[in-house]
A and B are shown apart, each in its own frame.
Chain A
Amino acid sequence: MQKDYFNMELLRFTTAGSVDDGKSTLIGRLLYDSKTIFEDQLDAVKRTSKQKGLDHIDLSLLTDGLKAEREQGITIDVAYRYFSTPKRKFIIADTPGHIQYTRNMVTGASTANLAIILIDARKGVLEQTRRHAIIASLLKIPHVVVCVNKMDLVNFEEEIYENIVQDFKNFSAKLEIPDVHFVPISALLGDNVVKRSQHTDWYGGPTLMYLLENVYIASDYNHIDCRFPVQYVIRPHTTEYHDYRGYAGRIASGIFKPGDEVLVLPSGFTSKIKSIDTFEGPVEAAFAPMSVSMTLEDEIDISRGDMIVRPKNQPKVSQDLEVIICWLNPKGPVPRAKYYIRHTTREARAMITDIQYKMDINTLHRLEGDKDIQMNDIARVSIRTTAPMFFDSYRKNRFTGSLILVDENTNETVAAGMII
């Protein structure tokens, strides 16, 4: 098995659904059918199923969480799960579907290539479904798979499925979701999850697993706009590498090659890339999301938080940012409160200078005049920073367009921001 495992790709996805739509069962099913479940785990689940008086194995228990939550019988945070097939390794950010947990969904969505949105076939598109789709679109998740679940409870009827698909399409047309797929499934029985269903002759599309394995993700990274946030400066101070000065970091976007002319922000100095080094030796090209160390032809003073770009393709440079934020903390922002802002490898202090409007996360409508931001709220704000930031719009670049705000007193991460 997996002889070719040096050629596997990584796909990160998140799952969203309202309570009881079957999210845990679906994840359990994916883990079970991809043979990721071990005997001792299965034994524990069998034991618990029995204790609960169930006559079947409750696959949803496989994704069960922490003790306190187990007692409360709910999931309250993002949990990560792993499975792989010979083609891809998958990381699931499993987030709960409660109304109050927009923040968890945003967290899980921030790193995802793909979102699975679950709909109960008996209930159709609900307010929560809209919210999940809106969050996927706000966070710019490139691919969405809408799973119409519990098809077994509606006799696998085509018409019911088609109506739901149409409903979803009608409303999502206003959103920016580049790639949407629909699959009729039964998570409980396994129909169209990994194996094709015997009950949906009318459905000509692929199974969920086929989509997960084959969705084209190579273009999810931005390979056009060269952005290299400097994370750390490597200075070996050894005889062999006496004058070595390597700018270490992870490529945010674009493709860098030795010989390329580059410009350093904020100084504006230009130079050429001398080498791009890794432990295995120099490489001929570096692209997102590689971690490398770059050396330049000229000695320039560069430190953490600086950004190396191409002279003819520069990010915006400003101390004023227009941002869509999701508030993550139980305590809302107070007027003129100050925060630390983290953006790429750069940190500064920041102030929310204006709250322009809040957004109704179920309809995308602007709530003009409502400026009372609470946990789980999405709002458009203006932020002023103490030092210039080098950024692109989130739409163009998920890495140079995203930021977090950190409370100066509690040190908690209180907001996630996407630059407009």
Chain B
Amino acid sequence: MTYNYNLNHLKELESEAIYIIREVVAQFEKPVLMFSGGKDSIVMTHLARKAFFPARIPFPLLHIDTGHNFEETIRFRDELMAEIGANLIVGSVQASIDQGRVQEEKGWNASRNGLQTVTLLDALEEYKFDAALGGARRDEEKARAKERFFSHRDEFGQWDPKNQRPELWNLFNGRKKMGEHFRVFPISNWTEMDIWQYIKHDQVKIPSLYFSHKRPCFVREGVILAYADFMQLKEEETVKEMQVRFRTIGDITCTGAIQSEANSLDDIIQEVATSRITERGGRADDKRSETSMEDRKKLGYF
């Protein structure tokens, strides 16, 4: 039998991600994987399993629960954790609000997305995590194009784009002072398309929200939002049943849906290939200003 000593692009990306996840476990004392319930963090979890097979994932998963989740996300999360036997920690934004650590936003576009930062940093500090693995990708947003695999954060959890360490070859420098930590992004080099192709190739399970379904929705400022009973509607807004799916999954108050009939992975890959809008294009939180992601990032957002 002859071999072709060549990896295809998905295998090469996978190998790079596994290398980085293992590097984190080797270089840090207390890593954690930030699990949002979205496809990227699900792929991250899948890669972490692969990295340590046949052992279990040697670090816990951290979910920052805004209290405004899709029910489907929570159900999926709990099933996945049971299946892989992972240790899940939940950081609650509601608890941060109750403790007076943060103030709930007011007004029509009130969202808990910004508040997550405080809950996240509190959780990192409480458990003394020194490396937080995340599923952010560089193609998602301009501000992320320069993000490192190993992203250094100061003792306030802040990101300074000018003070990032150069990364050469496959040599990663995770040295830090007391109180500082790192965010690490093993799938930096993946695009949305890579993620979908990989999910298909590896038959990774994902929440039903990604597939076309009927649900009560309303339209606000051109964005289709799922309706939940704690939401307040403006006078001109009406809830109606729509055939939708989600391209990203976050806080229910600001995750835009798209009208879609795509109900298989092939359909989704086809749709992503021909789509003319970026996946974050539907997120109300990014629309606030052109540099909004960058501003939140500096403050310690994922």
Residues of A within 8 A of B (CB): 1-2, 5-10, 38-41, 44, 64-68, 76-82, 84, 88-89, 91, 103-104, 106-107, 110-111, 218, 221, 223, 231-232, 234-238, 240-241, 244, 246, 248-250, 255, 277-279, 284-285, 287, 289-291, 293, 304, 328, 340, 342-343, 345, 398-399, 402-404, 406, 411-413, 416
Contact = CB atoms under 8 A, between A and B. Distances in A.
Contact of A40 (B170, B172, B277): B277
A293 B53 contact: yes
B146 A250 contact: no
A39 B166 CA distance: 32
A82 B189 contact: yes
Interface string B26-47: 1000000000000000000000
Given A6-B8, A38-B277, A411-B177, A80 B49 contact: no
A290 B145 contact: no
Nearest to B46: A279
B194 A232 contact: no
Nearest to B11: A290
Contacts of B162: 68, 76
Interface string B92-107: 0000000000000000
Interface in B262-302: 269-270, 273-278, 281, 290-291, 294-295
Given A279-B50, A291-B51, A412-B165, A403 B171 contact: yes
Interface stretch (B12-20, B124-132, B226-234): B12-20
Contacts of B278: 38, 40-41
A67 B292 CA distance: 10
Given A10-B13, A84-B9, 10 more contacts: A9-B9, A40-B277, A40-B278, A80-B145, A232-B22, A236-B56, A240-B54, A248-B51, A287-B5, A399-B169
A410 to B, nearest CB: 9
Nearest to B18: A291
A291 B9 contact: no
24 contacts: A1-B273, A6-B8, A6-B197, A6-B201, A38-B281, A66-B142, A66-B161, A76-B162, A80-B145, A80-B189, A84-B191, A84-B193, A89-B9, A106-B168, A232-B26, A237-B55, A248-B51, A249-B22, A279-B49, A289-B15, A289-B16, A291-B14, A291-B18, A291-B19
A231 B23 contact: yes
A345 B54 contact: no
A400 to B, nearest CB: 10
Contacts of A79: 145-146
Task: Tell me the dominant secondary structure on chain A's binding face.
Answer: mixed
Interface in B51-74: 51-56
B25 A232 contact: yes
B277 A236 contact: no
Nearest to A252: B170
B168 A416 contact: yes
Nearest to A217: B6
A411 B176 contact: yes
Contacts of B8: 6-10
B237 interface: no
Contacts of A10: 7-9, 12-13
Contact of A107 (B1, B143, B167, B193): B167
B182 to A, nearest CB: 11
Nearest to A42: B276
B153 interface: no
A291 B15 contact: yes
A289 B6 CA distance: 9
B168 A110 contact: yes
Nearest to B192: A82
Nearest to B52: A234
B25 A285 contact: no
Given A1-B274, A40-B277, A340 B16 contact: no
A1 B277 contact: no
Contact of B275 (A38, A78, A237, A345): A38
B173 interface: yes
B168 A404 contact: yes
Contacts of B295: 67
A106 B171 CA distance: 14
B90 interface: no
B60 to A, nearest CB: 17
A91 B166 contact: no
Given A6-B8, A231-B19, A279 B193 contact: no
B239 interface: no
A67 B291 contact: yes
B198 to A, nearest CB: 10
A107 B168 contact: yes
B10 A66 contact: no
B45 to A, nearest CB: 13
B108 interface: no
Contact of A91 (B14, B189, B201): B189
Nearest to B276: A39
A65 B145 contact: yes
A67 B145 CA distance: 12
Residue in B16, B22, B25, B277 with the greatest tally of chain A CB atoms within 10 Å: B22
B12 A103 contact: no
Given A278-B50, A279-B50, A68 B175 contact: no
A244 B281 contact: no
A342 B169 CA distance: 11
A338 to B, nearest CB: 14
B3 to A, nearest CB: 6
A343 B54 CA distance: 27
A221 B5 CA distance: 10
A412 B281 CA distance: 36
Nearest to B172: A342
Nearest to B295: A67
Nearest to B197: A5
Given A82-B191, A291-B15, A65 B146 contact: yes
Nearest to A293: B53
Contacts of B290: 44
B79 to A, nearest CB: 20
Nearest to B16: A289
